[in-house]
Amino acid sequence: MLVPKKVKIVEVGPRDGLQNESGTVTVDLRIDLINRLTRAGLPAIEAGSFVSPQWVPQMANTAKVLENIIPGKGVNYPVLVPNLRGFNDALTAGAKEVAIFASASELFSQRNINCSVAESLDRFAAVCSAAKVNGIRIRSYISCCLGCPYEGDVPLNSVVKLAVRLLAMGCNEISLGDTIGIGTPNRAEALVDAVLAVVPRERVAVHFHDTYGQGLVNTLAALQRGIAIVDTSVGGLGGCPFAEGATGNIATEDVLFMLNGLGVSTGVNLEKVVDTAHVIFAALGRKPVSRVARVTASYGMRIQEK
Protein backbone atom coordinates (compact mmCIF):
# COMPACT_ATOMS: atom_id res chain seq x y z
CA MET A 1 0.00 0.00 0.00
CA LEU A 2 1.46 3.35 -1.05
CA VAL A 3 1.32 5.82 1.83
CA PRO A 4 3.84 8.40 3.11
CA LYS A 5 6.73 7.04 5.15
CA LYS A 6 6.28 9.78 7.72
CA VAL A 7 3.12 11.58 8.86
CA LYS A 8 2.74 14.66 11.05
CA ILE A 9 -0.10 14.38 13.56
CA VAL A 10 -1.71 17.69 14.53
CA GLU A 11 -3.42 17.18 17.88
CA VAL A 12 -6.57 19.32 18.07
CA GLY A 13 -8.13 17.93 21.26
CA PRO A 14 -7.20 20.81 23.60
CA ARG A 15 -8.99 23.27 21.32
CA ASP A 16 -11.32 21.71 18.78
CA GLY A 17 -12.10 18.88 21.18
CA LEU A 18 -12.66 20.70 24.45
CA GLN A 19 -14.51 23.66 22.96
CA ASN A 20 -17.60 21.48 22.59
CA GLU A 21 -17.76 20.41 26.24
CA SER A 22 -20.89 21.44 28.13
CA GLY A 23 -19.29 21.25 31.58
CA THR A 24 -16.52 23.34 33.06
CA VAL A 25 -13.02 22.85 31.66
CA THR A 26 -10.48 24.50 33.93
CA VAL A 27 -7.26 26.13 32.84
CA ASP A 28 -5.30 23.62 34.94
CA LEU A 29 -7.00 20.71 33.17
CA ARG A 30 -6.15 22.19 29.77
CA ILE A 31 -2.53 22.74 30.80
CA ASP A 32 -2.19 19.19 32.09
CA LEU A 33 -3.70 17.79 28.88
CA ILE A 34 -1.28 19.73 26.68
CA ASN A 35 1.71 18.74 28.81
CA ARG A 36 0.74 15.06 28.62
CA LEU A 37 0.36 15.28 24.85
CA THR A 38 3.73 17.01 24.62
CA ARG A 39 5.36 14.19 26.55
CA ALA A 40 3.68 11.71 24.22
CA GLY A 41 5.65 13.23 21.34
CA LEU A 42 2.95 15.11 19.42
CA PRO A 43 4.72 17.60 17.12
CA ALA A 44 1.81 20.08 16.93
CA ILE A 45 -0.83 20.66 19.62
CA GLU A 46 -3.64 23.20 19.36
CA ALA A 47 -3.40 25.08 22.63
CA GLY A 48 -6.67 27.05 22.51
CA SER A 49 -8.25 30.03 20.85
CA PHE A 50 -8.54 33.78 21.28
CA VAL A 51 -12.24 34.11 20.62
CA SER A 52 -14.83 35.78 22.80
CA PRO A 53 -15.66 33.67 25.89
CA GLN A 54 -19.28 34.60 25.19
CA TRP A 55 -19.23 32.32 22.15
CA VAL A 56 -16.77 29.62 23.25
CA PRO A 57 -16.50 29.75 27.06
CA GLN A 58 -14.29 26.66 27.27
CA MET A 59 -11.48 28.53 25.52
CA ALA A 60 -11.38 31.44 27.98
CA ASN A 61 -7.96 32.29 29.45
CA THR A 62 -5.92 30.74 26.64
CA ALA A 63 -3.20 33.28 27.45
CA LYS A 64 -2.82 31.62 30.87
CA VAL A 65 -2.61 28.23 29.21
CA LEU A 66 0.22 29.37 26.93
CA GLU A 67 2.01 30.97 29.84
CA ASN A 68 1.97 27.84 31.98
CA ILE A 69 2.46 24.87 29.67
CA ILE A 70 5.88 23.22 29.48
CA PRO A 71 6.86 23.57 25.80
CA GLY A 72 8.45 20.62 24.08
CA LYS A 73 11.50 21.06 21.90
CA GLY A 74 10.39 21.62 18.32
CA VAL A 75 6.69 21.39 19.22
CA ASN A 76 4.25 23.92 17.75
CA TYR A 77 1.27 25.19 19.77
CA PRO A 78 -1.08 26.95 17.34
CA VAL A 79 -4.02 28.98 18.63
CA LEU A 80 -7.17 29.87 16.72
CA VAL A 81 -7.80 33.58 16.06
CA PRO A 82 -11.01 34.94 14.47
CA ASN A 83 -9.75 38.41 13.55
CA LEU A 84 -6.96 40.96 14.00
CA ARG A 85 -7.90 41.63 17.61
CA GLY A 86 -7.62 37.94 18.39
CA PHE A 87 -4.28 37.83 16.60
CA ASN A 88 -2.93 40.73 18.65
CA ASP A 89 -4.06 39.02 21.86
CA ALA A 90 -2.31 35.83 20.74
CA LEU A 91 0.84 37.74 19.87
CA THR A 92 0.87 39.40 23.29
CA ALA A 93 0.48 35.96 24.89
CA GLY A 94 3.57 34.71 23.06
CA ALA A 95 1.96 32.54 20.41
CA LYS A 96 4.32 31.48 17.62
CA GLU A 97 1.64 30.03 15.34
CA VAL A 98 -1.98 31.00 14.72
CA ALA A 99 -4.85 29.33 12.92
CA ILE A 100 -7.72 30.89 11.00
CA PHE A 101 -11.05 29.28 10.19
CA ALA A 102 -12.85 29.81 6.89
CA SER A 103 -15.92 28.00 5.60
CA ALA A 104 -16.66 26.63 2.14
CA SER A 105 -20.35 27.09 2.99
CA GLU A 106 -21.92 30.55 3.05
CA LEU A 107 -24.59 29.65 5.60
CA PHE A 108 -22.13 27.92 7.92
CA SER A 109 -19.91 31.01 7.83
CA GLN A 110 -22.86 33.17 8.84
CA ARG A 111 -23.87 30.85 11.69
CA ASN A 112 -20.31 30.17 12.88
CA ILE A 113 -18.53 33.53 12.70
CA ASN A 114 -21.42 35.89 11.90
CA CYS A 115 -20.17 37.08 8.54
CA SER A 116 -20.11 36.07 4.89
CA VAL A 117 -17.25 34.07 3.40
CA ALA A 118 -16.04 37.20 1.61
CA GLU A 119 -16.10 39.22 4.83
CA SER A 120 -14.22 36.47 6.66
CA LEU A 121 -11.49 36.53 4.03
CA ASP A 122 -11.10 40.28 4.50
CA ARG A 123 -10.60 39.69 8.23
CA PHE A 124 -8.13 36.92 7.62
CA ALA A 125 -6.17 38.97 5.09
CA ALA A 126 -5.46 41.46 7.88
CA VAL A 127 -4.43 38.62 10.20
CA CYS A 128 -2.12 37.12 7.59
CA SER A 129 -0.47 40.47 6.89
CA ALA A 130 0.17 41.03 10.58
CA ALA A 131 1.45 37.47 10.98
CA LYS A 132 3.91 37.93 8.15
CA VAL A 133 5.26 41.15 9.69
CA ASN A 134 5.73 39.41 13.04
CA GLY A 135 7.15 36.15 11.71
CA ILE A 136 4.18 34.10 12.89
CA ARG A 137 3.29 30.86 11.13
CA ILE A 138 -0.30 30.59 9.83
CA ARG A 139 -2.43 27.47 9.71
CA SER A 140 -5.81 27.69 8.00
CA TYR A 141 -8.87 25.48 8.26
CA ILE A 142 -11.52 25.11 5.60
CA SER A 143 -14.71 23.78 7.15
CA CYS A 144 -17.63 21.96 5.50
CA CYS A 145 -15.47 20.64 2.66
CA LEU A 146 -17.68 17.58 2.16
CA GLY A 147 -21.01 18.91 3.35
CA CYS A 148 -22.77 21.56 5.42
CA PRO A 149 -25.42 21.09 8.14
CA TYR A 150 -27.42 23.97 6.62
CA GLU A 151 -26.74 23.81 2.88
CA GLY A 152 -26.16 20.12 2.29
CA ASP A 153 -23.67 19.37 -0.48
CA VAL A 154 -20.82 21.83 -0.94
CA PRO A 155 -19.32 22.15 -4.45
CA LEU A 156 -15.66 21.15 -4.62
CA ASN A 157 -15.01 24.29 -6.61
CA SER A 158 -15.95 26.36 -3.55
CA VAL A 159 -13.28 24.57 -1.54
CA VAL A 160 -10.70 24.98 -4.29
CA LYS A 161 -11.33 28.72 -4.67
CA LEU A 162 -11.02 29.19 -0.92
CA ALA A 163 -7.79 27.19 -0.81
CA VAL A 164 -6.31 29.36 -3.56
CA ARG A 165 -7.19 32.53 -1.65
CA LEU A 166 -5.74 31.24 1.62
CA LEU A 167 -2.55 30.11 -0.07
CA ALA A 168 -2.17 33.53 -1.69
CA MET A 169 -2.59 35.19 1.73
CA GLY A 170 0.47 33.33 2.95
CA CYS A 171 -1.00 30.39 4.87
CA ASN A 172 1.66 27.76 5.52
CA GLU A 173 -0.78 24.89 5.91
CA ILE A 174 -4.35 24.33 4.75
CA SER A 175 -6.45 21.77 6.61
CA LEU A 176 -9.47 20.33 4.79
CA GLY A 177 -12.28 19.68 7.25
CA ASP A 178 -15.23 17.34 7.00
CA THR A 179 -17.03 19.21 9.76
CA ILE A 180 -20.12 17.00 9.95
CA GLY A 181 -18.30 13.75 9.17
CA ILE A 182 -20.44 12.91 6.17
CA GLY A 183 -17.64 12.03 3.76
CA THR A 184 -16.77 8.64 2.32
CA PRO A 185 -13.41 7.51 0.87
CA ASN A 186 -14.29 8.25 -2.76
CA ARG A 187 -15.41 11.76 -1.84
CA ALA A 188 -12.32 12.28 0.33
CA GLU A 189 -10.13 11.27 -2.61
CA ALA A 190 -11.96 13.66 -4.94
CA LEU A 191 -11.57 16.50 -2.42
CA VAL A 192 -7.85 15.92 -1.99
CA ASP A 193 -7.25 15.58 -5.73
CA ALA A 194 -9.10 18.83 -6.45
CA VAL A 195 -7.12 20.79 -3.85
CA LEU A 196 -3.78 19.25 -4.83
CA ALA A 197 -4.29 20.71 -8.30
CA VAL A 198 -3.79 24.19 -6.81
CA VAL A 199 -1.97 23.71 -3.46
CA PRO A 200 1.42 21.99 -2.91
CA ARG A 201 0.98 18.56 -1.32
CA GLU A 202 3.24 19.37 1.65
CA ARG A 203 0.90 22.21 2.66
CA VAL A 204 -2.30 20.16 2.72
CA ALA A 205 -3.73 18.52 5.85
CA VAL A 206 -6.95 16.59 6.42
CA HIS A 207 -9.35 16.98 9.33
CA PHE A 208 -12.04 14.29 9.48
CA HIS A 209 -14.86 13.96 11.99
CA ASP A 210 -16.16 10.48 12.71
CA THR A 211 -19.92 11.06 12.82
CA TYR A 212 -20.73 8.17 10.47
CA GLY A 213 -17.69 6.06 11.38
CA GLN A 214 -15.85 7.04 8.21
CA GLY A 215 -13.00 9.07 9.72
CA LEU A 216 -10.34 6.36 9.61
CA VAL A 217 -11.09 5.15 6.08
CA ASN A 218 -11.24 8.73 4.84
CA THR A 219 -7.86 9.36 6.42
CA LEU A 220 -6.43 6.29 4.71
CA ALA A 221 -7.83 7.50 1.39
CA ALA A 222 -6.04 10.83 1.87
CA LEU A 223 -2.80 9.09 2.85
CA GLN A 224 -2.94 7.09 -0.37
CA ARG A 225 -3.06 10.42 -2.20
CA GLY A 226 0.20 11.37 -0.51
CA ILE A 227 -1.19 13.59 2.26
CA ALA A 228 1.20 13.51 5.23
CA ILE A 229 -0.49 15.86 7.74
CA VAL A 230 -3.47 14.56 9.70
CA ASP A 231 -5.54 16.34 12.37
CA THR A 232 -6.67 14.11 15.24
CA SER A 233 -8.16 14.46 18.72
CA VAL A 234 -7.11 12.43 21.75
CA GLY A 235 -9.79 9.96 22.77
CA GLY A 236 -12.06 11.25 20.01
CA LEU A 237 -12.82 14.47 21.88
CA GLY A 238 -14.94 17.05 20.16
CA GLY A 239 -17.79 17.85 17.87
CA CYS A 240 -18.79 21.26 16.61
CA PRO A 241 -20.80 23.80 18.62
CA PHE A 242 -22.30 25.08 15.35
CA ALA A 243 -23.10 21.71 13.75
CA GLU A 244 -25.58 19.81 15.91
CA GLY A 245 -25.04 16.06 15.84
CA ALA A 246 -21.47 16.17 14.57
CA THR A 247 -19.25 13.94 16.68
CA GLY A 248 -15.61 14.36 17.53
CA ASN A 249 -12.58 14.33 15.33
CA ILE A 250 -11.07 10.99 14.52
CA ALA A 251 -9.23 9.75 17.59
CA THR A 252 -5.48 10.23 17.77
CA GLU A 253 -4.84 6.74 19.11
CA ASP A 254 -6.96 5.07 16.41
CA VAL A 255 -4.99 6.84 13.69
CA LEU A 256 -1.68 6.01 15.39
CA PHE A 257 -2.62 2.33 15.66
CA MET A 258 -3.32 2.26 11.91
CA LEU A 259 -0.15 4.15 11.03
CA ASN A 260 1.99 1.89 13.22
CA GLY A 261 0.51 -1.11 11.45
CA LEU A 262 1.37 0.44 8.09
CA GLY A 263 4.95 1.08 9.20
CA VAL A 264 4.49 4.86 9.03
CA SER A 265 6.69 6.97 11.31
CA THR A 266 5.07 9.66 13.50
CA GLY A 267 7.40 10.04 16.48
CA VAL A 268 4.38 9.71 18.79
CA ASN A 269 4.13 7.23 21.66
CA LEU A 270 0.79 5.47 21.26
CA GLU A 271 0.67 4.11 24.79
CA LYS A 272 1.13 7.58 26.30
CA VAL A 273 -1.64 8.94 24.09
CA VAL A 274 -3.99 6.18 25.25
CA ASP A 275 -3.14 6.93 28.88
CA THR A 276 -3.83 10.62 28.22
CA ALA A 277 -7.20 9.76 26.67
CA HIS A 278 -8.25 7.92 29.82
CA VAL A 279 -7.07 10.77 32.06
CA ILE A 280 -8.89 13.56 30.21
CA PHE A 281 -12.12 11.60 29.80
CA ALA A 282 -12.10 10.60 33.46
CA ALA A 283 -11.80 14.29 34.31
CA LEU A 284 -14.78 14.97 32.03
CA GLY A 285 -16.82 12.21 33.67
CA ARG A 286 -17.13 9.75 30.82
CA LYS A 287 -15.20 7.17 28.77
CA PRO A 288 -13.16 7.77 25.60
CA VAL A 289 -14.98 7.07 22.35
CA SER A 290 -11.92 5.76 20.52
CA ARG A 291 -11.69 2.07 19.69
CA VAL A 292 -8.12 1.68 20.91
CA ALA A 293 -8.78 3.33 24.28
CA ARG A 294 -11.89 1.22 24.86
CA VAL A 295 -10.13 -2.04 24.02
CA THR A 296 -7.19 -1.33 26.32
CA ALA A 297 -9.56 -0.38 29.15
CA SER A 298 -11.82 -3.41 28.72
CA TYR A 299 -9.21 -6.13 28.30
CA GLY A 300 -6.15 -4.66 29.98
CA MET A 301 -4.23 -4.91 26.73
CA ARG A 302 -0.97 -3.05 26.38
CA ILE A 303 0.14 -1.42 23.16
CA GLN A 304 3.20 -2.85 21.52
CA GLU A 305 5.30 0.04 20.14
CA LYS A 306 7.33 -0.51 17.02
Per-residue pLDDT reduced to its tens digit, 50-90:
998 888 899 999 999 999 999 999 999 999 999 999 999 99
What CATH number does the domain located at 8-299 have? 3.20.20.70
Write down the pLDDT at residue 296: 81
Split at pLDDT 50, 70, 90, the class of 177 is very high
Quick count: other Cβ atoms within 10 Å of Cβ 301?
11
Write down the pLDDT at residue 208: 96
| CA distance linking residue 61 with residue 49, whole number of Å | 9
Write down the pLDDT at residue 242: 47
Taking CA atoms, 292 is separated from 9, 10, 142, 261, 297, in Å, by 17, 18, 28, 13, 9
| CA distance linking residue 10 with residue 158, whole number of Å | 25
**Long-range pairs for 214-217: beta carbons < 8 A, 24 or more residues apart:** 214/181, 214/183, 214/184, 214/185, 215/181, 215/249, 215/250, 215/254, 216/250, 216/254, 216/255, 216/258, 217/184, 217/185
For residue 304, pLDDT beyond 80: no
DSSP 8-state secondary structure symbol assigned to residue 17: I
Pair 222, 207: CB distance under 8 Å: no
For residue 302, pLDDT beyond 80: no
Select the more confidently predicted residue: 132 or 302: 132
As annotated, the active-site residues are 240
Indicate the SS3 state at residue 208.
strand
Q: What percent of the chain has pLDDT over 90?
A: 83
Structural domain boundaries in the chain: 8-299
Quick count: other Cβ atoms within 10 Å of Cβ 22?
8
For residue 303, pLDDT beyond 80: no
For residue 171, pLDDT beyond 80: yes
Mean pLDDT of the chain: 93
Write down the pLDDT at residue 265: 98
Write down the pLDDT at residue 306: 45
Q: What percent of the chain has pLDDT over 70?
A: 94
For residue 301, pLDDT beyond 70: no
What are the tens digits of pLDDT across the range 223-279? 999 999 999 999 999 855 445 555 679 999 999 999 999 999 999 999 999 999 999
For residue 173, pLDDT beyond 50: yes
Write down the pLDDT at residue 1: 78
What are the tens digits of pLDDT across the range 79-122? 999 999 999 999 999 999 999 999 999 999 988 788 899 999 99
Q: Where are the beta strands (DSSP E) in 144-250?
A: 173-178, 204-208, 229-232
Split at pLDDT 50, 70, 90, the class of 207 is very high
Indicate the SS3 state at residue 245.
coil
Indicate the SS3 state at residue 283.
helix
